[in-house]
Amino acid sequence: MIHDNSEMTTQRRRTDIDRQWWKEAVVYQIYPRSFNDSNGDGIGDIPGITEKVGYLDDLGVDVVWLCPVYDSPNHDNGYDIRDYRAIMDEFGTMADWEELLDELHARDMRLIMDLVVNHTSSEHEWFQRSRRREGKYEEYYYWRDGSPDEPPNNWQSIFGGPAWSYDDNREQWYLHLFDENQPDLNWRNPDVREDVKEMITWWLEKGIDGFRMDAINFISKPEGLPDGDPDARLVGHEHYAHGPHIHEYLQAVYDDTLANYDTMTVGEMGGTSIDKTAEYLGERNSGLDMMFQFNHLAVDDGPNGPWSLDGWGAWELTDFKEIVTRAQDELAAEFWEALFLGNHDVPRIVSRFGDDEEYHEESAALIATFLLTLRGTPYIYQGEEIGMTNAEFDTLDELDDVMTIGKVEELIEAGAIDSFEEVRGLVNYLSRDHARTPMQWSDDPHAGFTDGEPWFGVNDNYRDINVDAALTEENSIWRHYQSLISLRHELDTLVYGAYELLLPDHEQLFAYTRTLGDEEVLVVLNWSDEPTTFDAADIDSSSAEILLSNYEQSPENPHGREFRPYEAILYRL
């Protein structure tokens, strides 16, 4: 826990920087289903990713995080795993996967896999045997007695509806924090923990470089599974998040598996405070190198969280700066931070935090500048490097995501809305499906993603926004990402330098310095569509070298303090 090692922390600050390859890395996240289809069946696949390894190398990224590619019936696009040691047929074979790993390693890139062990698919052999009460599998999941019309407690599924389903076969209820096809593994059972560890070692032995750990703060549930506060936004969350044995379980996983390999790990923690997040980091805690925490992404939530019917979508830069700064100070400075704004579960970053129309290029480049100049390890989600935007969904039928559909159905059942129409705006603001439209490679049919019919509709704007166009244009968003990544590789200051926020109350500018030894870098971002003036009394940028900017800088006014809409400048002071 952090309070126990404050002495160690002070000491660490005084000594040299603690270099780690994963701190210096830039990660690229791939959602395989939507990345690149190699065989024309409309579904992205592993050979399709291998075809693009050169593309990723040109961009300059160091690590690829692959969302689940395991055998799965795809109720939640691979986050419902049927067999942890097999590749999903639609994605290819184990030999294809091995070839991808080799190709990445041949170019000095690393591969991390998604570790989904809070739950399995209901089609997983463990669950099938558990339903039949077979041998050691009997208590592999959370089974409870009760009459078929009354769940054992009041917990709600994160995807909408009760967190329990009744199994007619075993005549008992089983727990699922996510979809009914994703039963929660019973981590209280030591056999479960052993099986999971064996599986982790199996993948590490295949030569992977680490894991992204899905919903990892949910794996320990308290004895008795007590009712949650019925008025909470996620009923039961106070019990199943950070449960009583969480650190013990994670520590054991680390000691018995990861500790024997050179890996990086990043945990996913929804609905977690920065304080709580810190408890998972540090050497003798849980062996997690960094965490995806979502406090900064809550900035535009309505009063009842992301699925508030009113009051969503508005956010103040000053609030955002405060949250980001807290995480920089309390996570990145003390331990490390996972830097991200987008992933496969949230809307497109330029639509959400920038301007996907008038200042599309400028704002996408500004956001990139932000992500790649903070302290921590940046994660780029596929398509961000070309400024892919949200799509437009007119009817519920056009959506695919189990969560969006589940949430809409929950609202209808609760009588909060009568039809999809009433939440169309909200869904178009936050659906996970925005991030899942196929990658836009070219202006060929279906954006060059497939020669067949894509499994999910391509965003109409692919004729303008695509990789081919970005590669031919000199000042494209893509080039900006490439330059930022290479600057990060050159300048230790961008990786390890101390972060200091300037002008906390400024409503348009997000400005900060990064300092390491006698090198100081200044980042000034005009995060708005109106011009403004940068004036920080103790900083003189007039003689500073501009390392990168997203506008052309005129020779007459080389270091002007006037910032144009979404102008972003990186200086060396």
Binding site for Ca ion (CB under 5 A): 37, 39, 41, 43, 45
234 vs 311: CA distance, rounded Å: 18
Residue 172: phi, psi to the nearest 5? -145, 165
Active-site residue 214, yes or no? Answer: yes
CB of 566 to ligand GLC, least distance (A): 29
- Least Å distance, CB 100 to Ca ion, is 14
Per-residue contact flags (x/-) with ligand GLC for residues 329 to 368, judged by CB under 6 A: ---------------xx-----------------------
| Residue 214, strand partner residues | none
Q: For residue 150, what are its two tokens?
A: 């009354």
Instruction: Please confirm, yes or no, whether 268 is among the known catalytic residues.
Output: yes
**CB of 12 vs ligand GLC, minimal distance in Å:** 31
Instruction: Report residue 31 as tokens.
Output: 């959602």
The entry of ligand GLC, Ca ion, none near residue 468 (CB within 5 to 8 angstroms by kind) is none
Smallest separation (angstroms) from ligand GLC to the CB of 78: 9
Catalytic residue (choose from 80, 114, 268, 567) = 268
Distance in angstroms between the alpha carbons of the first and the last residue of the chain: 37
Q: Is 20 exposed, middle or buried (0-12, 13-18, 19+ CB in 10 A)?
A: middle
Asked if 215 is part of the footprint of ligand GLC (rule: CB under 6 A), the reply reads: yes
> Does position 433 bind ligand GLC by CB under 6 A?
no
Long-range CB contact pairs, 77-81, < 8 A, 24+: 77/31, 77/33, 77/436, 78/32, 78/33, 78/114, 79/114, 79/116, 79/178, 79/182, 79/214, 80/119, 80/120, 80/121, 80/122, 80/123, 80/179, 80/181, 80/182, 81/116, 81/120, 81/121, 81/124
Touching ligand GLC, residues 306-325 (CB under 6 A) = none
- Binding partner of residue 131 among Ca ion, ligand GLC, none, CB cut-off 5 to 8 Å per kind: none
Give the residue with the Cβ less far from ligand GLC, 116 or 225. Answer: 116
- Binding to ligand GLC in span 116-155, by CB under 6 A: 116
Binders of ligand GLC among residues 239 to 268 (CB under 6 A) are: 268
Which of 37, 167, 214, 289 binds ligand GLC (CB under 6 A)? It is 214
Q: Please report, as a single letter, which amino acid is at residue 410.
A: E
Give the residue with the Cβ less far from ligand GLC, 431 or 483.
431
CB of 220 vs ligand GLC, minimal distance in Å: 16
How many angstroms separate the CA atoms of 69 and 229, rounded? Answer: 36
Size of the site for ligand GLC (CB under 6 A): 9
Q: What share of the chain is helix, strand, coil (3-state, %, to 5)?
A: 35, 15, 50
Shortest separation between residue 48's beta carbon and Ca ion, angstroms: 6
* Contact between 486 and 570 (Cβ < 8 Å): no
Using the minimum distance from each CB to Ca ion, give the nearer residue, 110 or 344.
344
Site for ligand GLC in 62-121 (CB under 6 A): 76, 79, 116
Alpha-carbon dihedral sign for residues 347, 414, 405, 293: positive
Q: Would you please indicate which residues are annotated as catalytic (active-site) residues? A: 214, 268
Contacting positions for ligand GLC (CB under 6 A): 76, 79, 116, 178, 214-215, 268, 344-345
